Structures are given as structure tokens and as C-alpha cells.
């Protein structure tokens, strides 16, 4: 076993809720107001010069605004940072061709402001683990006297001891809809397994095969999405048969659909990590999808949502990558994200890159060296080679047949597990 420091968030309830809720409300409302001021500022800049300011530019600009002093300066900074992140996220999606994505909105319901999350960084809170209390700072506008602060008595899960964590980096006050709760963001040292080996595997995430894996020693696996598509089709049909899309029945069906999808992602990430342990893999290389995912042939973004019956947004891939990272970490396996650029149009054997590669029925055919590969496996192998150049490209006589003959793992909805399908002879 080895030790590794990771970030964890622990939720705690507030025991003196009635005493602190008014104060927390004021901070939550203040965070919404500052968000709206920032939101308005960004749209002005955007209209004027077609540019989305970075959070530090936004902070520099709004520092002298009256609303900035309602919260502790670090808390105000965090509100503007979240806003800038939300804007850049939306802009990224827009560039990806996601026309349904909306820019972040104003935080207002009529004349009411919702209670936004308030984040306290190092200088904005003081933790007393002996008495389970935390002191949260207000901004100068909301202080009644100079040392005015909010003293919360918290109750955390019995197995969490905040005095033993490496350090508590942030405290967040979060409104659950009924009451306030606290989230402690901590650095924690955990025991992880020794890395299972030195080998690498490339993972290409996509819409037909949710994941294609190319292992360094020359074999490949596919995880098709068809089971999830069937599942989605079934639920979409039942939901559309409901009289009212807001009805209790429709809500229940939607929840069930989303639970099953979450289960699929958990099971798949766990299964892939397990396969990596078996294969002695120490590094999983994943294509980074957070950037521009353009269809390199015509410069247009792929539209994930319109494929078949599956309504799969790019956030699903991010979520899956997070799960994979988390589960791999526990096994001592690193997940590296690399740019996906050119990984679908280059030949993973000879490296030849062409503007219009031949992809027919999911097969990649190279004019130069004659390699025939499963297109997704070819992509996965290119992704893997970004971290570890392969002996396959050294001009040696290693067989490339494995690129065209992946093992296919199917999700069994009955058992909830992945099992290999009998190899198809083609």
C-alpha cells in the first residue's frame, strides 16, 4: 500500500440552525446579488467587444462595487470565479455545436433572490475541531461591529474526524431547500494500492461504442452502448405516454432512467479499472473531451444528442471520466487526459494522417500501409500513443490484427454486469 493525498468533501449539518440561519440567509442573498452584478457586467462586455472576461479581470473590475463588500473578499472572489467558469463552460458547449446550451442566467425569482452557496476560503473561516464549531466571516457591509461573525455548531458523520485531515481548504454554506448545511473540502491522505504495473491503455469515448480500449501489449476491447440505447428508448416511450410531462409518473420514470444510467457508468468504470488491474496497467490515457470536440473532417461539431434514441450530453462523458479517475486512483492507477486532436484521422500503425480517411461501417482503412482497424480502436490506440509511443509504429513486424478484432463486452441488464460476447468471426 502507498499513501496519496486526495481531495474529499464532507457534509455536515448545523446544530444551531435557528440561531445562524438569518445570518446565512443574508450571505446567500448577497452571493446571488453579486452573481447578478457580475452576470450583467459580462453581458455588457460581451455585447461590446465579443469577449468573456476571465474571473480575475471580473474581480479587478468589480472589487470597488458596493455588493462586493457584502461578503468576505475571498467569498466574493469565488462567486465571480464560478460565474466566469459557468460562462466559459457554456461558451465551450456552444463552440461544440450544442445549440441547446444556455448561458448562465440571473439568480432571481421575481423580486426574490435565491440563497446561493457561499464559499469560505482559508482567511474566511476558523475551525475549532475540539468543540465542533466553525466561525464564518461576513463582509464589512453586513457586519454590525468589527468582529461580527457567524458561529456554526456542526455535526459531521461519526467516521469523519476533521482534526486528522491534512487540511480543511474550504467551507461552503449550502442551502438544501429546507435548511443550511456545511460542506468541508479537505485534503485527505488515503491508502492506495501499489500501481498494478507499468503498461498503458488508451480509451476513446464515443456515442456508438461508449468506450474503446487499446492495450499496450496489443489487444482491444469495445463497450457498445446499445443496451443503454434500448433502455433509453423504453423509458422515453413510457414517458411520452404519460398524460403530463410534469406528472408524478413521468418524474418517477425520469428518475428511474437517470438512476439506471448512473448505475451503468459506475459499473463500467469499475469494470474497466478491474480489467486494468488484471492487465498490469499503470496509466489510463483518456481523450480530453472538455475542449473542442470537432468533427475534424468538416470542422463541424459532433451532435451527440441526435444519435439514435440516445440523449447523451457531453457532461455524461465528463462525469464518466471523473468516476473512472476516482476508482483508478484507489488502485494506484493514474488517469491522464490528452487532446483528442487528430486521433481519429491518423493511422495508429504508420502514423499517416489524411484529410479524408476511409471509415466504412466502423472500419478504418489506411491507404498507406493497408492496415484495417476498428475505427474506435484506432482512435484509442492513437490516444494511448500520445503518452507511450508504441512498438507498433517502429516498423517492426508485430501483427496489427488485434486492431480489427476487439473483444466486445456487453452490459447485461439482468445481472447488471459486463460480460464478453463470443468473438464474432468476420
Count of alpha carbons within 13 angstroms of residue 175, beta-carbon side:
19
Inter-residue contact 282 to 196 (CB < 8 Å): yes
Closest CA to 152 of 26, 19, 25: 19
Which residue carries 457586519 as its cell?
A: 143
Which stretch in 187-195, 224-232, 322-330, 361-369 sits in contact with Zn ion by CB under 5 A? Answer: 361-369
Which residue carries 484507489 as its cell?
A: 330
Mark residues 288-327: x for contact with Zn ion by CB under 5 A, - for none.
----------------------------------------
Does 347 sit near Zn ion (CB under 5 A)? yes
Find the helix or strand (DSSP H, E) in which 264 lies.
helix 248-278
Rounded distance between C-alpha atoms, residue 203 and residue 215, angstroms:
9
Find the helix or strand (DSSP H, E) in which 407 lies.
strand 407-412
Which stretch in 130-138, 323-331, 351-359, 387-395 sits in contact with Zn ion by CB under 5 A? Answer: 351-359
Which stretch in 59-67, 160-168, 256-264, 363-371 sits in contact with Zn ion by CB under 5 A? Answer: 363-371
Of these, 76, 371, 385, 400, which contacts Zn ion (CB under 5 A)?
371
Of these, 368, 412, 419, 423, which contacts Zn ion (CB under 5 A)?
368
Closest CA to 210 of 261, 255, 169, 145: 261
> Smallest gap, in angstroms, from Cβ of residue 350 to Zn ion?
3
Nearest CB to Zn ion, comparing residues 308 and 395: 395
Nearest CB to Zn ion, comparing residues 83 and 366: 366
Of these, 2, 5, 190, 369, which contacts Zn ion (CB under 5 A)?
369
Does 350 sit near Zn ion (CB under 5 A)? yes
Which stretches of 51-175 are DSSP H helices?
A: 55-62, 73-95
Rounded distance between C-alpha atoms, residue 305 and residue 293, angstroms:
14
> Smallest gap, in angstroms, from Cβ of residue 221 to Zn ion?
22
Q: How many residues bind Zn ion (CB under 5 A)?
A: 8
Mark residues 83-112: x for contact with Zn ion by CB under 5 A, - for none.
------------------------------
Neighbour tally for 91: CB within 10 Å: 14
Of these, 80, 168, 214, 366, which contacts Zn ion (CB under 5 A)?
366
For residue 224, the cross-strand partners are 209
> Smallest gap, in angstroms, from Cβ of residue 353 to Zn ion?
10
Closest CA to 136 of 77, 168, 148, 156: 148
Which stretch in 27-35, 129-137, 370-378, 413-421 sits in contact with Zn ion by CB under 5 A? Answer: 370-378
For residue 182, the cross-strand partners are 12, 173
Binding interface with Zn ion (CB under 5 A): 347, 349-350, 352, 366, 368-369, 371
Amino acid at each position: 500500500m502507498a499513501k496519496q493525498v486526495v481531495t474529499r468533501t464532507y457534509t455536515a449539518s448545523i446544530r444551531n440552525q435557528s440561531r445562524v440561519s438569518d445570518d446565512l440567509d443574508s450571505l446567500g442573498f448577497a452571493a446571488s446579488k453579486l452573481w447578478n452584478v457580475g452576470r450583467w457586467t459580462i453581458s455588457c462586455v460581451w455585447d461590446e467587444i465579443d469577449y468573456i472576461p476571465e474571473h480575475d479581470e471580473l474581480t479587478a473590475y468589480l472589487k470597488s462595487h458596493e455588493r462586493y463588500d457584502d461578503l468576505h473578499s475571498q467569498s466574493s472572489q469565488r462567486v465571480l470565479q464560478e460565474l466566469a467558469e459557468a460562462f466559459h463552460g457554456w461558451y465551450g458547449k456552444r463552440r461544440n455545436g450544442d445549440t441547446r446550451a444556455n448561458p448562465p442566467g440571473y439568480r432571481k425569482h421575481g423580486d426574490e433572490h435565491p440563497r446561493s452557496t457561499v464559499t469560505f476560503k482559508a482567511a474566511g473561516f476558523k475551525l475549532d475541531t475540539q468543540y465542533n464549531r466553525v466561525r464564518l466571516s461576513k463582509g464589512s457591509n453586513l457586519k454590525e461591529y468589527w468582529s461580527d461573525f457567524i458561529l456554526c455548531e456542526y455535526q459531521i458523520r461519526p467516521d469523519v474526524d476533521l482534526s486528522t485531515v491534512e487540511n480543511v481548504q474550504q467551507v461552503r454554506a449550502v442551502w438544501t431547500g429546507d435548511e443550511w448545511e456545511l460542506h468541508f473540502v479537505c485534503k485527505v491522505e488515503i491508502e492506495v494500492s501499489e500501481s498494478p504495473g507499468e503498461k498503458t491503455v488508451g480509451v476513446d469515448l464515443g456515442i456508438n461504442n461508449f468506450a474503446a480500449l487499446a492495450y499496450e501489449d496489443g489487444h482491444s476491447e469495445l463497450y457498445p452502448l446499445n443496451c443503454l440505447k434500448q433502455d433509453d428508448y423504453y423509458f422515453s416511450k413510457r414517458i411520452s405516454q404519460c398524460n403530463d410531462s410534469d406528472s408524478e409518473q413521468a418524474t418517477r420514470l425520469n428518475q428511474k432512467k437517470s438512476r439506471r444510467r448512473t448505475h451503468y457508468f459506475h459499473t463500467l468504470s469499475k469494470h474497466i479499472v478491474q480489467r486494468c488491474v488484471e492487465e498490469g496497467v499503470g496509466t489510463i490515457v483518456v481523450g480530453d473531451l472538455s475542449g473542442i470536440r470537432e468533427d475534424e473532417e468538416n470542422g463541424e461539431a459532433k451532435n451527440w444528442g441526435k444519435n439514435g434514441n440516445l440523449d447523451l450530453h457531453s457532461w455524461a462523458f465528463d462525469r464518466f471520466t471523473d468516476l473512472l479517475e476516482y476508482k483508478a486512483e484507489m488502485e494506484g492507477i493514474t488517469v491522464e487526459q490528452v487532446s483528442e486532436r487528430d486521433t481519429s484521422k491518423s493511422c495508429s500503425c504508420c502514423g499517416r494522417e489524411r484529410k479524408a480517411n476511409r471509415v466504412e461501417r466502423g472500419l478504418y482503412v489506411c491507404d498507406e500501409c493497408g492496415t484495417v482497424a476498428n475505427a474506435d480502436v484506432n482512435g484509442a490506440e492513437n490516444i494511448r500513443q500520445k503518452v507511450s509511443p508504441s512498438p507498433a509504429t517502429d516498423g517492426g513486424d508485430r501483427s496489427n490484427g488485434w486492431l480489427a478484432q476487439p473483444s466486445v463486452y456487453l452490459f447485461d441488464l439482468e445481472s447488471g454486469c459486463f460480460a464478453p460476447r463470443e468473438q464474432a468471426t468476420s
